[in-house]
Amino acid sequence: QVQLQESGPGLVKPSETLSLTCTVSGYSISSGYYWGWIRQPPGKGLEWIGSIYHSGSTYYNPSLKSRVTISVDTSKNQFSLKLSSVTAADTAVYYCASFLYYDSSGYYKNWGQGTLVTVSS
């Protein structure tokens, strides 16, 4: 059973960089799947941030691309998210998830519990 757990600071100051890590258990990141980050502002819907394959290939939401970096550490079975120059609009629950990719499409099969990140001074 694939399990995911987000970790990182719950409070980030405006203009600084948000950094989160997702630890995967029950499955080796190197075995396959893509891995993604999705966020949900309070009271709002889901927004795809980006995805990464274990080889390091990345795909980002065009609206966030200039500020996002997703990386993978197969030795720790983790992948990470960095979002720079944050503002209050980046306040959200951030989820990591496994992404089953096929035919240029795919779905998020397993989700972490989510972590709330608040951007405030």
Separation of alpha carbons 81 and 51, rounded Å: 10
> What is the nearest approach in angstroms of another protein to the Cβ of residue 50?
8
Interface with another protein includes 53 (CB under 8 A)?
no
Identity of the residue, 53 or 111, whose beta carbon is nearer to another protein in the bound complex: 111
> What is the nearest approach in angstroms of another protein to the Cβ of residue 109?
6
Separation of alpha carbons 61 and 48, rounded Å: 7
Paired tokens of 36: 């993604």
Separation of alpha carbons 59 and 43, rounded Å: 26
Which residues contact another protein (rule: CB under 8 A)? 36, 38, 45-48, 50-51, 59-62, 95, 99-100, 103-114
